[in-house]
Amino acid sequence: MSIFLNTHLGKNKLTPKQILSDPVLFLAFGFGSGLAKKAPGTFGTLAALPVYWLFAQTNIWIYSLLTVIVTVAGIWICDVAAKKLDEHDFGGIVWDEIAGYLITLWLVPCTWQTMVVGFILFRFFDILKPWPISWLDRKIPGGLGIMLDDVLAGVFAGGLLWLAAKYT
């Protein structure tokens, strides 16, 4: 029984070994978390937890810079990964979840409560994709399209989290 999503991924039928050994695919697949059989997006968001924890140890300016770098680099990472797989927004590409989660927690204190509530809110918006997230998901191609819906899900989740943190 394999822990991996499939033995051959995407239209180009890449193996998990090929994904884990290619630096861009390794990042795109969230350090391998996107290879999970079930709920790769959720596992990709889980992979964001240690990244967030590491970034949160810095000041807001460094956190902001790192989050912007992760997000902007994600456009290229996701675009290259989609081309290597020959499949747009393949479920195992989860770098966008990592960026979205970092955006969710951008402006709130680093506590276990904000990490948990932020995780739930981000997954909610990423899975349900209310308008305009769903529109962006359908209309914007390439790496930008892969990233943009999760960036906006992160903004929505982060906005609600910020309001909750401010008024509770």
Residue 143 inside a domain? The answer is yes
> Does the residue 10 lie in any domain?
no
54-111: pLDDT as tens digits: 999 999 999 999 999 999 999 999 999 999 999 988 999 999 999 999 999 999 999 9
13 and 19 Cβ atoms separated by less than 8 Å: no
The parent domain of residue 124 ranges over 16-167
Residue, of 29 and 4, whose pLDDT is higher: 29
Residue 9 lies in a domain: no
Q: How many CA atoms lie within 13 A of 67 on its CB side?
A: 25
Does any domain span residue 1? Answer: no
95 within some domain: yes
Give per-residue pLDDT as tens, 127-146: 999 999 889 888 999 999 99
Q: What is the pTM assigned to this prediction?
A: 0.94
Helices (H) and strands (E) in the chain, counts: 8, 0
pLDDT of 101-114, one tens digit each? Answer: 999 999 999 999 99
